[in-house]
Amino acid sequence: MERFFRTVRDQFLAKQRYKTFDEINTAFTLYLNDYHRRIHSTLECSPMQKRLGVESVCQMVPEVADIESLFRLKRRCRVYNDGTIRLRKQAFEVPGCLPGGRVTIYYMPWDLSRIYYGDDLKLAKPVDLIANAHRFDNANFAHTKEKDNDTE
């Protein structure tokens, strides 16, 4: 890399004085196009030929691969007394987990709608705080009051 910068300094910057950034950008683009196509003595080919001749370091992911699982983050969370965990100020129900214990969760940081927990990757349910707050509202009690009145 240092060799490349020295070459740019010696071959490109030393040749001319440029007045604007546009002039420098245009001239440097032309210089790089020539540089990448010119045969280099140490490579015995052009840098472009060398790069195109190298197998890609990227590996193809099979179509059947579960790509989502490759991006999931893993974290240990405390299970609160109400059977929930907290992640980014959001509560999730984790039924079957021991309150006071810890559970491993798996999630994608950009999508907290699907949080998995445990070794068998059960889906944690987001807690709807508004529905929880109104679970004993009049609509629910009206039905039970009618039953109570019928029995009297």
**71-104 pLDDT, tens digit each:** 899 999 999 999 999 999 999 999 999 999 999 9
Residues 47 and 73 in one domain: no
CB atoms within 10 A of CB 117: 23
Per residue in 22-72, pLDDT (tens digit) is 988 998 898 888 888 888 888 888 888 887 877 776 777 777 777 888 889
Tokens matching residue 118: 């445990």
Q: How many domains does the chain have?
A: 2
Of 29, 43, 20, whose CA–CA distance to 12 is shortest?
Answer: 29
Q: Report the distance separating Cα 28 and Cα 117, nearest Å.
A: 53
Provide the domain limits for residue 16. 2-53
Cβ 8 vs Cβ 1: under 8 Å = no
SS3 133: helix
Q: Which three-class secondary structure state does DSSP give residue 76?
A: strand
Q: Are 97 and 123 within one domain?
A: yes
